């Protein structure tokens, strides 16, 4: 199959039962350490939200959420969440979270538009987190500070697992490398964004790419971002724009770059209006979330999502995300995987 990578000579180090226990170990350890490092309290998350509120995540603007009518609410339509980027910010206000504190939650989403391969599933599970910040913290140095904290938790989890599973050898570098997408485009002008990302992560092994969403010097964004959560237009330095980015590491099993987290400082009132105008979506101003933000009812914040299955797949040296989560896969993919010692749950 063209979308499937089969590592040469692959054999899983853990059977299914051992894998299930290891998944629990990873999730428990990472979650508790992330909460302590960023001062986050756990919150219960919705599986679905009402359509027309502006709360659901539009991702790149082309993904269609799964929806259904609610019979006992006069046929109002609910949508399965695609992420909780905007819901979390509303909860910071509703729960009265103070400066420097925030919340995290288990986010379970359904994204039927995903192209299924080793890394992508219809089912998405991640730790969604959000934290209250001050106006003076809407800077690249503060963004980098939070990224380093998250990376430290990732490194700590790697050590925790190495201590329990001898087959897991430390691979992550001591420090994460920061690079702006504009610098990346200038360094590799003849590559497309995906190729540039692959090359820089191959070199540095753990990278945070800053500034995702705005067009670069060549007129093409590094990747797409919805206009109403991450701030990708605020100017920082050297004429660069964007207060967001992705944590990406190198996956030695699949020999490719491997995104673990999308995150960033969220839009303030000015950035929201600018990004809605750029994307031609000014009509969203009338939606519940957007009205609350424009009326200054929501705190400034930083937040993101960290893939749970992605993290487990990486640490357990698995070749397919279906080895650490239950999903639905094409029969041909299941058969090819089974023939190559990749056993999907």
Catalytic site positions = 57, 111, 126, 246, 259, 262
Angstrom distances, CA of residue 80 to CA of 45, 58, 63, 67, 76: 12, 12, 12, 6, 13
Closest-CA residue to 302 (of 263, 248, 343, 265): 265
E strands present in 84-186: 102-110, 123-132, 177-180
Strands 102-110 and 40-42: parallel
CB neighbours of 187 closer than 8 A, spacing ≥ 6?
Answer: 196, 200
Structure tokens at 110: 């359904």
Structure tokens at 86: 């905007």
The answer to whether 128 touches 83, Cβ cutoff 8 Å, is: yes
């Amino acid at each position: 199959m063209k979308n499937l990578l089969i590592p040469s000579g692959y054999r899983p180090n853990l059977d299914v039962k051992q894998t299930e226990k290891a998944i629990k170990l990873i999730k428990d350890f990472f979650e508790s350490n992330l909460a302590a490092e960023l001062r986050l309290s756990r919150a219960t998350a919705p599986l679905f939200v009402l359509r027309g509120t502006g709360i659901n995540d539009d991702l790149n603007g082309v993904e269609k959420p799964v929806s259904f009518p609610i019979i006992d609410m006069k046929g109002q339509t609910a949508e399965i969440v695609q992420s909780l980027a905007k819901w979390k910010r509303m909860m910071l206000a509703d729960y009265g979270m103070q400066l420097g504190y925030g919340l995290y939650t288990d986010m379970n989403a359904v994204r039927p538009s995903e192209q299924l391969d080793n890394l992508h599933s219809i089912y998405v599970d991640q730790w969604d987190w959000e934290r209250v910040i001050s106006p003076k913290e809407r800077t690249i140095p503060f963004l980098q500070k939070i990224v380093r904290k998250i990376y430290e938790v990732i490194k700590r989890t790697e050590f925790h697992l190495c201590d329990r599973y001898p087959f897991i050898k430390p691979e992550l570098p001591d420090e994460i490398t920061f690079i702006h997408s504009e610098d990346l485009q200038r360094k590799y002008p003849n590559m497309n964004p995906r190729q540039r990302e692959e090359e820089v992560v191959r070199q540095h092994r753990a990278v945070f790419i800053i500034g995702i969403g705005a067009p670069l010097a060549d007129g093409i964004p590094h990747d797409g971002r919805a206009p109403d959560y991450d701030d990708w237009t605020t100017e920082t330095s050297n004429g660069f724009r964007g207060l967001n980015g992705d944590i990406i590491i190198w996956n030695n099993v699949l020999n490719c770059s491997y995104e673990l987290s999308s995150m960033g400082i969220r839009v303030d009132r000015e950035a929201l209006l600018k990004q809605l105008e750029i994307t031609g979506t000014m009509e969203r101003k009338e939606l519940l979330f957007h009205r609350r933000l424009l009326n200054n009812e929501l705190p400034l914040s930083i937040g993101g999502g960290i893939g749970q299955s992605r993290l487990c797949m990486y640490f357990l040296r698995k070749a397919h995300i279906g080895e650490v989560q239950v999903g639905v896969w094409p029969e041909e993919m299941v058969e090819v995987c089974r023939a190559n010692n990749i056993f999907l749950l």
